[in-house]
Amino acid sequence: MNEQKKEEMIIRLVNVSKVFDETTAVENVSFYVRKGEFITFLGPSGCGKTTTLRMIAGFDIPTSGKILLNGQDITDLPPNKRPVNTVFQRYALFPHYNIYDNIAFGLKMKKVPVTYRNEKGETYTKMQKLTRREIDEKVKNALAVVDLEGFEKRSVSTLSGGQQQRVAIARAIVNEPEILLLDEPLGALDLKMRKEMQIELKEMHRKLGITFIYVTHDQEEALTMSDTIVVMKDGCIQQIGTPTDIYNEPANAFVADFIGDSNILNGTMVDKLTVRFCNRNFRCVDDFERNEKVDVVVRPEDIEMCPPEQGMLVGRVVSVVFKGVHYEITAMVGRSEMIIQSTQSRTVGELIGMNIAPDAIHIMKKELTSNRYDGYITKKNTVVFGDGEFECDVTTLYPGSHLDEDGYLITAQGEKIDLTDADVSVEVGLTDIEISDNADEGGARGHIVSLIYKGDHYQYIVRTEENEEDFVLDTEDLWNENDYVSVKIRPENIHMKLKQEIK
């Protein structure tokens, strides 16, 4: 960070965490906000964005970490002593005051230094309350900013939601705060009103020149209004960047999924600037280690449809929804689902080809914690995935169930279920896979295509021949690349989930 940037930093959070009765709302968050910036915290509910805002406002005190305002530590300063004002989601206007008194509330609390000159000609300053005239003037100006001139004497209950929101904004900005905090301020408004207010807020930000810190769960709102977006999840920051950066270069699959619509696919880097997904190799512009498991993100509008014979991918259309500006077409490519946005329509059942340009393929490092597969249950109550067949415990699909003599599953409620061909998602931990020389011993077979030494163990990737499915495993044993091995997994280590309820 260079010196100039540091100077214009207005607020800075350093390793801030907040724990409420054992649940961590915000975990070790650090970031700074530049003076005059419009910054937005974006994330699903419960991601810690509102708690972060409340800590800046002073309503919640961080469990650990520091908050610096213009370089000064304000971590424990009560809210009434902070030069920061908040616009609340549900307005929080005082119902017992009229509009004037609501807006004047903060001004009446305020004391400002006034300079006097005594008989000796010495100057001295005294802290004084604002005069009635000054307050009148400021209230009038604030009402003008929010387009509510002449509303002074109205009572809160006579205003519409949008008008109340404007009063709430006026009540905050009239105090000329250094930072304006907005906690989902448009959340309670209807769509049309919300769009209007977005533009107005942005305009207000431009005119007033103060820093806006905005909280929302609406990604479109964040993209429209912000200079900078902070994406949060589970109390942690996922990515900080401009709207364009966040949209075009999401840092991980979560961000990609949360911002805009996207197809997220499992892929593997098979060569330099080449990624393999949906059983096909694609050229791409991001480079990662060979054989690394990656998340591939493709925006629906970046998939071009073409006749099947010309497409890199071929899929069958399963649904078409008209969305006003475009059609949203869902196609199945093998067992993967692709969402396509296009101005052209297709009919359900049709075969289509799809092309994706290299720069439309966004590749993200995968935080690999387990192997995930799509599989199905056989007649013998085994599970097929990753080009192999494995023994498994199907009773884990239904808590409290058991198998009868004929191999049917009996649920805890006594229902009899035939699991044959049921689609399941399978998860296997990295340390739960064993490999062996004996080709007949395991459920699947393949060559070791990669081995990485990770300090105290090796990480291997075993790739099958038929569909090039990968098994990633951690073990201390040493094997060689290109060894042909079989993959063994104990039934209790195969974690399965039904994709659909069996009828």
* Chain residues in the site for other proteins (CB under 8 A): 20, 57-61, 78-81, 84-86, 88-90, 92-96, 105-106, 109-110, 171-172, 175
Smallest distance from other proteins to CB 205, Å:
19
Instruction: Provide the 10 A C-beta neighbour count for residue 23.
Output: 9
Smallest distance from other proteins to CB 138, Å:
13
Smallest distance from other proteins to CB 110, Å:
6
Based on CB atoms, which residue is closest to other proteins, 169 or 496? 169
Smallest distance from other proteins to CB 159, Å:
14
Based on CB atoms, which residue is closest to other proteins, 96 or 503? 96
Smallest distance from other proteins to CB 126, Å:
18
Q: What is the CA radius of gyration of the chain?
A: 30
Based on CB atoms, which residue is closest to other proteins, 57 or 303? 57
For residue 108, list its beta bridge partners.
Answer: none
Based on CB atoms, which residue is closest to other proteins, 10 or 93? 93
CB 487 within 8 A of CB 442: yes
Strands, E assignment, 307-443: 313-322, 327-333, 336-342, 351-356, 361-365, 370-377, 382-385, 388-391, 402-403, 409-410, 416-417, 423-429, 433-436
Based on CB atoms, which residue is closest to other proteins, 172 or 197? 172
CB 383 within 8 A of CB 376: yes
Q: CB-hemisphere CA count at 13 Å for 108? A: 9
The SS3 assignment for 281 reads strand
CB 125 within 8 A of CB 181: no
Based on CB atoms, which residue is closest to other proteins, 25 or 448? 25
- Give the integer Cα–Cα distance in Å for 117 and 434: 87
Smallest distance from other proteins to CB 135, Å:
13
Based on CB atoms, which residue is closest to other proteins, 75 or 493? 75
Based on CB atoms, which residue is closest to other proteins, 53 or 223? 53
What's the Cα-to-Cα distance from 488 to each of 454, 460, 492, rounded to whole Å? Answer: 22, 14, 12
- DSSP per-residue codes, 440-471: TTSSEEEEEEEEEE-SSSEEEEEEESSS--EE
Instruction: Provide the edge-to-edge strand list for the sheet that holds 361-365.
Output: 280-283, 274-277, 263-271, 293-298, 361-365
- Its sign, for the CA torsion 14, 244, 369, 273, is negative
Smallest distance from other proteins to CB 23, Å:
11
- Give the integer Cα–Cα distance in Å for 67 and 11: 7
Smallest distance from other proteins to CB 106, Å:
3
Based on CB atoms, which residue is closest to other proteins, 55 or 232? 55
CB 252 within 8 A of CB 239: yes
Smallest distance from other proteins to CB 477, Å:
51
